[in-house]
């Protein structure tokens, strides 16, 4: 994560596979955070928003876990 004047800059890859023309809140896709393993699926705008809001806490955990795994591999 990059800190810029009290804000956190996060980068995502967002893939939308389906959406309803008549209802923009209905969309299906996946979100990947750059530099973090794994994908998270969503099936509506509320789920997407929830993923983006919750990723801040999960990002720190995942990055720490990835770093410790990499360090472990280097030691072996």
17 pLDDT band, cuts 50/70/90, is very high
Is it the case that residue 49 has pLDDT exceeding 60?
yes
Q: What is the pLDDT of residue 42?
A: 95
* 48-to-14, 41, 42, 58, 73 alpha-carbon distances in Å: 10, 8, 6, 15, 34
pTM over 0.85: no
Q: What is the pLDDT of residue 13?
A: 94
* Nearest-angstrom CA–CA distance, 48 and 40: 9
Range of the structural domain that residue 58 is part of: 2-75
Cross-strand partners of 16 = 29
Q: What is the pLDDT of residue 24?
A: 79
Total of domains in the chain: 1
């Amino acid at each position: 994560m990059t800190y810029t004047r009290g804000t956190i800059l996060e980068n995502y890859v967002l893939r939308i596979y389906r959406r309803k023309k008549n209802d923009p809140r209905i969309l299906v896709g996946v979100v990947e955070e750059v530099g973090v393993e794994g994908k998270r699926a969503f099936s509506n705008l509320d789920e997407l928003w929830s993923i983006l809001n919750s990723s801040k806490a999960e990002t720190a955990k995942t990055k720490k876990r990835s770093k410790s795994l990499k360090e472990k591999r280097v030691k072996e």
